[in-house]
Amino acid sequence: MGRTNRKRRSTLANRAIAASAALALGGGGLLAANIYASAGEENSQQNAQTTAAGQMATIACPDVGQKLSDVPDGARQGVDEELAKMDSQITEAYARLNSTRDAAAKDPGFVQNSILGPLKSKRTAALDRININVQRAGGDAQDLQSLAECEGQPADQAQTAAGEGQEGQDQNQDGQDQGGEDQAGQDQNQGGQDQGGQDQGQVGDNGNGAAGPVAGDFIDINQVQPNNDPAGNAANGLAADGEGGSQGTFTTECGTNANNVFNSDNLIAAPGVDNGAHHTHDYVGNQANDAFASDEDLANGDTSCQNQGDKSTYYWPVLRQQDGNDEFDANDGGGGADGNVGTILEAAEAEIKFVGNKQSDVVAMPKFLRIITGDAKSNTNGVGNENASWSCTGFEDRQISDKYPICPEGSQVVRTANFQSCWDGQNIDSANHRDHVSFVQEDGSCKEGFQAIPQLQIRLVYDAQAPVIENGQVQNPFAVDSFPEELHKPITDHNDFINVFDEQEMNKVVDCINSGQQCQ
């Protein structure tokens, strides 16, 4: 398969060394208002002027992968490799932005001339190569050049760069299969923004320089109003009156990654590309998953699932406590080299369950079906595809997407992912890794041409230490791994799945759900 998955090896490290190393590697990147604060109070006036001038927090680029819909099968590998190169180009440009803030503050044209201009040239060349791949495989060239240009993004524009905020709210409201809790969550989150917004420009050193999260990324769960019914039928995607639809469940026990299988690849979005994700993933289920795994490798791989008929791969970005400790990937891509530092937290619980559809029976998922839910680039893309949901045990009637929860003593952090549950009936993947599946419509049914499949729901619980916010700074926060330019925002949480159930076991899943049984 090219290489094996990287295993964990934890060691303690000097916090100051870790911080400086991460900054040197380009791991930071919020507003420059306080980036020079260590130089003393004499810089306060200069810092205020820099902030007023709109110093950039990060770099936002059009997501080319989401715009591609007509890519011949023969061009997919080449196109995916080019898309991964474009991600690396953004990462490199962001690192340069972070390491040249002094020059940028002195020269208003520096960022455009030295960072954004060269980045556009590189992206233009990559877009040309994408079209060459498509045409060589018999496809038609697409007009992609409008996607070459990137822009600097201040912190207060996070999550709106793509102009898709309303669309994202609508999609999430329909797609969660959970009774519309996201709309209520969005309303509540606005209150959270008011509470923490003034902190967005603050720079805290949590071992990764200025890459975040910041105080404004957190909210006390007690300040969130109830907006979800986790105990009722709505949470299981069932008809509210308990009638109709497919009301069974199938639970698969696959552990919590006690085997310490990690890598920063993404077999779905960037096959064949080492460090295609630029952040580290946890894996449960299939143990043979890395960027170079074929379907045959997955079918022949071992599984951490108790049910050996389930060799599916379930993976998500790790959650870290930014405590200044080095992990096995402290100097690696996906880890410290991409601004992801601190102790990786193993989930205390990882609940993996398949549920039914409100309106109809479900059909079997095809083997090797791939589904990505959520958007790892929601901070710069906008919320069109976001599907993050954060809460605390004992408070799961309160779900939030754009904040990390501060949980009270005795309560644990919860991440929930509810996957798309409608399939086009033909394809196991699509060019943008989204078009072949969709969320249900408002009434719980699938849109025309799509049919209901078992909905995957993943609930992760963590013993994360609650951060402390003092004087607009957050101390010892936890954060989800992210692309460097996404600044560890909670809204970038996402989850990935490849179905490797054997046919007999998948039929059992379908029968259990359609007959109303609770199976495992």
| Per-residue model confidence as pLDDT tens digits over 206-252 | 555 557 899 999 999 999 999 987 644 333 344 333 457 999 999 99
In a domain, 33, yes or no: no
At CA 200, angle to CA 185 and CA 322, rounded to 5?
85
Last residue of a domain, one of 116, 135, 152: 152
Whether residue 120 is found in the same domain as residue 230: no
In a domain, 193, yes or no: no
- At 57 the pLDDT is 87
The more confident residue out of 292 and 21 is 292
- At 14 the pLDDT is 35
Mean pLDDT, residues 338-356 taken together: 97
Task: Name every residue whose Cβ is closer than 8 Å to that of residue 168 and which is 6 or more positions away in sequence.
Answer: 382, 383, 384, 385, 386
CA distances from 35 to 32, 46, 339 (A): 5, 11, 16
Whether residue 221 is found in the same domain as residue 146: no
How long a stretch of residues is the chain?
Answer: 520
Whether residue 117 is found in the same domain as residue 235: no
Model confidence at 160: pLDDT above 90 = no
How many domains does the structure of the chain reveal?
Answer: 2
Q: Give the domain range for residue 70.
A: 56-152
| Residue-wise pLDDT tens digits, 462-508 | 999 999 999 989 999 999 999 999 999 999 999 999 999 999 999 99
Whether residue 137 is found in the same domain as residue 266: no
In a domain, 107, yes or no: yes
What distance in Å separates the CA atoms of residue 430 and residue 129, rounded to the nearest whole number? 19
In a domain, 223, yes or no: yes
Asked whether 224 and 410 are in contact (CB, 8 A), the reply is no
In a domain, 1, yes or no: no
Whether residue 141 is found in the same domain as residue 236: no
Whether residue 143 is found in the same domain as residue 223: no
- At 234 the pLDDT is 38
User: Is residue 163 classed exposed, middle or buried when 0-12, 13-18 and 19+ CB atoms within 10 A define those classes?
Assistant: exposed
- At 420 the pLDDT is 98
- At 211 the pLDDT is 78
Mean pLDDT, residues 361-387 taken together: 97
In a domain, 111, yes or no: yes
| Residue-wise pLDDT tens digits, 53-100 | 346 789 999 999 999 878 999 999 999 999 999 999 999 999 999 889
Whether residue 357 is found in the same domain as residue 479: yes
Residue indicated by tokens 């069974």: 248
What do you get for the CA distance between the two ends of the chain, in Å?
Answer: 31
Q: Report residue 286: phi and psi, to 5°.
A: -60, 130
Residue indicated by tokens 């090219």: 2
In a domain, 332, yes or no: yes
Percent of the chain with pLDDT over 70: 76
In a domain, 292, yes or no: yes
User: One-letter amino acid identity for 218?
Assistant: F
What distance in Å separates the CA atoms of residue 135 and residue 78, rounded to the nearest whole number? 12
Whether residue 259 is found in the same domain as residue 129: no
Last residue of a domain, one of 134, 152, 170: 152
Whether residue 388 is found in the same domain as residue 475: yes
Whether residue 271 is found in the same domain as residue 386: yes
Whether residue 139 is found in the same domain as residue 284: no
Q: Report residue 11: phi and psi, to 5°.
A: -140, 150
pTM value is 0.82
Whether residue 473 is found in the same domain as residue 324: yes
Last residue of a domain, one of 125, 152, 179: 152
How many CA within 13 A on the CB side of residue 123? 28
